[in-house]
Structure 1
C-alpha cells in the first residue's frame, strides 16, 4: 500500500512539475525565496504591533520565533527519520522532470519545511489579526498554498511532502496561536500599562 501511495505521489509530482514553462520559472523562483517575503513579514509585524499592547507584542514575537523553530526542526526529524530522497536526487526522475534551480536542497525531502513554516505563519497571523482583518486568514492560506506548490514547481518536493508539511503547519500554527493567547492572558500582557 505504501509503495502504491509513493508511486501515485511520483506520478502527481511529474504531472504538476511538468506543467511548468520557462516563462513562469523566474516568477516561481522569486515566489519560493524566503528573502522575497521580508517586506511582507515586516508589514505583518507592523500590523500586529498596531493591534497589541507592547508586552503582548513582544510575547508574540517570541512565540512566533519558537513556532518557526519547532515547525522547521520537526521537519528535519521527519527527513532524517524517513530518508525519502527528494525527486531532484533521483537519477531516473532527473531525466524527465524540470529542476528549475541549480541547488536541489538537502538529500531528503519528507516533509517540506517551506510548506510547514508558511502554513504555520499563515494560521498564526491570520488568527491573531482576524478581528481587525476579517479575510486575512484566507489570504494567508492562499499565500501558503502557493508557496507549497512552488516547491513542486521548482522540482524539490513531492506533493505528499508539501501536503504533510501544510498539515503540520496548520497544527503548529493553531497550537502556538492558542499558546500565545494563554501566555498573554496568564500574565495580563493585554493591559496598556
Structure 2
C-alpha cells in the first residue's frame, strides 16, 4: 500500500513538474521566493492595523505565533521524524526533474514548510477577517495555492509533501485563530 502511494505521488509529481516553460519558470521561481512576498506581508500588516486599531498588535503577534508554530511543527518535528528525501535529492529521479534556479532545497521534504506556513496564515486570516472581506479571502487562498503549486513545479516537493504541509498549516492557523478570538478579539469589525 505504501509503495503504491509513493508511486502515485511520484507520478503526480512528474505530471506537474514536467509541464514547464520559460515564462512560468520565472513566475514559479518568484512564487516560492520568501522575500518576493514582503510587499504583500507589509500591505496585510498595514490593513490589519487600520482594521483592528490597538488590537492589531495582538493580531500581529498571533500571526508570528501561527507562522512559528507551523514552521516548527513542519521543519523541526515532522521533517526530522519522517526524513523523506525531496524528489530533488533522489539520485534516480534527478536526471528527469526540472529544477528552478533556486536549487534542490534541503534534504527532507515531508512536510513542506512553505505549504504549512502559507496555509497557516491563510486559515488564520480567513477565520479572523470579518465576512465582508470575501474578495480578500479569495485572493489570500489564491496566493497560498500558487505558492504550494510552485513547490512542485520547481522540483523540490512531492504533492503529498504539500498536502501534509497544508494539513499542518490548517491545524496551526485554526488553533491560533480560536485562541486569538477567545482572548483578544472581542467584537466583529
TM-score for both structures, normalised by structure 2: 0.93
**In the alignment, what sits opposite 1:71?**
70
Kept after mapping to 2: 8 A contact 1:120/1:172 = yes
Kept after mapping to 2: 8 A contact 1:123/1:170 = yes
In 2, Cα distance between equivalents of 1:131 and 1:43:
19
**Cα distance, 1:65 vs structure 2:** 0.6
**Cα distance, 1:104 vs structure 2:** 1.4
In 1, Cα distance between equivalents of 2:155 and 2:149:
10
Give structure 1 stretches of 5+ with no counterpart. Answer: none
RMSD: 1.4
Kept after mapping to 2: 8 A contact 1:129/1:136 = no
TM-score for both structures, normalised by structure 1: 0.91
In 2, Cα distance between equivalents of 1:166 and 1:36:
21
Q: Which runs of 4+ in 1 moved over 4 A?
A: none
In 2, Cα distance between equivalents of 1:75 and 1:35:
20
**Cα distance, 1:119 vs structure 2:** 1.0
- Total equivalences in the alignment: 186
**Cα distance, 1:82 vs structure 2:** 0.6
Give structure 2 stretches of 5+ with no counterpart. Answer: none
Q: Write out per-residue CA displacement over residues 135-190 of structure 1, whole angstroms, 9 at most, x where no aligned residue.
A: 322221121111100000000000000011112212211211111111105xx7x6
Q: Write out per-residue CA displacement over residues 11-32 of structure 1, whole angstroms, 9 at most, x where no aligned residue.
A: 1001110011233211111111
